[in-house]
Amino acid sequence: MPLPLYLLAMAVFAMGTSEFLLAGLLPDIASDLGVPVGTAGTLTSAFAVGMVVGAPLVAALTRDRPPRSGLFWFVLVFAGAHVVGALTTSFAVLFVTRVVAAVANAGFLAVALTAAAALVPPDRKGRATAVLLSGTTVATVAGVPGGALLGASLGWRAPFWAVAALCLPAALGILKGIPAGRDGDGTAGRPSLRTELSRLTRPRLLLVMLLGALVNAATFGALTFLALVVTGTAGLGAWWVSVALMLFGAGAFVGVTVAGRLSDRRPRHVLAVGGPLLLLGWAALALLAEEPVALFVLVCVQGALSFAVGGTLIARVLHEASGAPTMAGSYATAALNVGAAAGPVVAAAALGSRAGVLGPIWASGLLVAVALLVAAPAALPLRAPVAARRGTEERA
């Protein structure tokens, strides 16, 4: 894999740390700013909404600019939003900073996904996507638990300062590792924006985007309120939240790495096996959450399955949108974050059900069940790209 991919992944690490960070900080934020925990949970949805709106909008506005300048400024705006968030005492201001940070993140990820796919042959898009998304999974392994520990020690504002600081080496890495000009022939031979947007009328692309959104909604819905399950249902101390988040991230890293190697050639196998297991896993987690050992094992397993299935679906979005070279990344980003916006809202509503703290876990299982029902009639005949199939046949 080209070195620029890993530099982009470093920036994704900083942004992924922020995106998942609130899972361990919500109770403290709610207490400090005087809002209910459910209201504080809308910060996750605010971030996701900013990503959904920002991804296609920013990708369209920057499609004629060299990738490096856009990526650099997105990282700086993201850092600035976290500085303001760390300083404010107003929930409304914090809410706005999350939206601004999300738009910057969306622009970065949309450009980065497209750039990553352009750096490799068509039959390696899945692996390139996995490398890029590994920044997010490493964030869940190290950044998010570290942020939770930092928040427990110094207050919830400290992790915001840490994320802002992480953005600085990422920005320098972009300047040094990403070429200044536009790759290839620039706009020569590139389809118009209208042509790229017309790809959204393709039923297969819309189906894969919907499935990606549903799976990601389940992931974010459960993860946003995982701290309540650890400290409430399992009856553990606040420090164990970091352990749970680290285990989820470790599983996610394994899942996205393994799926990245399989999704180019065997996407249907990954989805056919991983989807039902993901559904069973959420049900098992809800039923066994009172047992700490079972809780931690299942959190790790669900991290692996969530990112294996979700990462494969996002890679398929890039394949199905291959006729939209500058907008494909924004479609994948939008699919991810429609789910990330809806998931915490559904989970917060489930908190008021008779299931109580376990409501978000059951809601995640329901969302995956809906995805399986939607996918079943289409039978998801997802095949590897032609280049990958030819390579497989030649090696046989």
Q: The tokens of 356 are what?
A: 């109580």
- 167 vs 174: CA distance, rounded Å: 11
* DSSP symbols for 23-78: GGTHHHHHHHHT--HHHHTHHHHHHHHHHHHHHHHHHHHTTTS-HHHHHHHHHHHH
- In this structure, which amino acid lies at residue 348? A
Share of the chain above pLDDT 70, in %: 80
Helices (H), 225-327: 226-228, 239-262, 267-288, 292-320
CA distances (Å), origin 131, targets 10, 37, 224: 10, 34, 24
Contact 337, 48 (CB under 8 A): yes
pTM for the structure as a whole:
0.69
Q: DSSP of 338-360, one letter per residue?
A: HHHHHHHHHHHHHHTSTTGGGHH
| Residue 114 near residue 334 (C-beta atoms within 8 A) | no
The pLDDT of residue 68: 76
3 state DSSP class of 82: helix
Average pLDDT, the chain: 80
Q: Is 342 exposed, middle or buried (0-12, 13-18, 19+ CB in 10 A)?
A: buried
CB atoms inside a 10 Å sphere around CB 223: 30
**Consecutive H or E run containing 215:** helix 203-224
Q: State residue 394's pLDDT score.
A: 45
In terms of C-beta density within 10 A (0-12 exposed, 13-18 middle, 19 or more buried), how is residue 377 classed?
A: exposed
Quick one: tokens of 349? 């509503």
Mean pLDDT, the chain cut into blocks of 10 residues (396 residues total): 73 81 80 85 79 75 74 90 93 92 85 71 68 71 76 88 87 75 52 71 84 91 88 87 85 81 72 91 95 95 91 80 69 79 87 89 95 77 47 45
Q: How far apart are alpha carbons 345 and 221 in whole angstroms?
A: 7
346-19-262 Cα angle (round to 5): 90
For residues 149 and 25, is the Cβ–Cβ distance under 8 A? no
Do residues 10 and 135 touch, judged by C-beta distance below 8 A? Answer: yes
Are 344 and 45 in contact, with CB atoms under 8 Å apart?
Answer: yes
